[in-house]
Structure 1
Amino acid sequence: MTQKDIPNCFLPVTQLSEKLEKGGLSSLELIEEYLERIRKHDRNLGAFIDVYEEEARKAASASDMARASGHIIG
């Protein structure tokens, strides 16, 4: 498996940050990957009591808009 084959949700935060900064990934795309994994695996794991999908999407979209307007997101 090459680095390109590794799903974003398994990458270190430093690599995710770089992809976000360079435009290779949006916050909304990333949050959708995480939400999909939660939907897929949580019925067996029971790790989450509540998942606030819409709130997560809104926050991700706001982050993408801030980044697009030149704000540095840390």
Structure 2
Amino acid sequence: LESIGFWDYIGEGIVTVEWADRIPEAIPEDALWITFSIVDGNHREISLRGERGKGRGLVEGLMARGYNLGC
């Protein structure tokens, strides 16, 4: 991760990491996980998961507004 400058991008802002489950040690505990699943050839399903802190707060806020997040 150091060789590709990963740590330079992690901070207070928003960072999107594809295949983040392959580097769990680099992902903050309060991350918001976004999962894309193939339903069929023309449809995708997106689910959001936040287990702690900011990520959980975002999920709870959206659910309180009536969004079904697939979590």
Fold similarity call, TM over 0.5: no
Greater strand share, 1 or 2?
A: 2
Name the TM-score class by shorter chain: 0.3 to 0.5
**TM-score (structure 1 length as normaliser):** 0.32
**TM-score (structure 2 length as normaliser):** 0.33
Greater helix share, 1 or 2?
A: 1
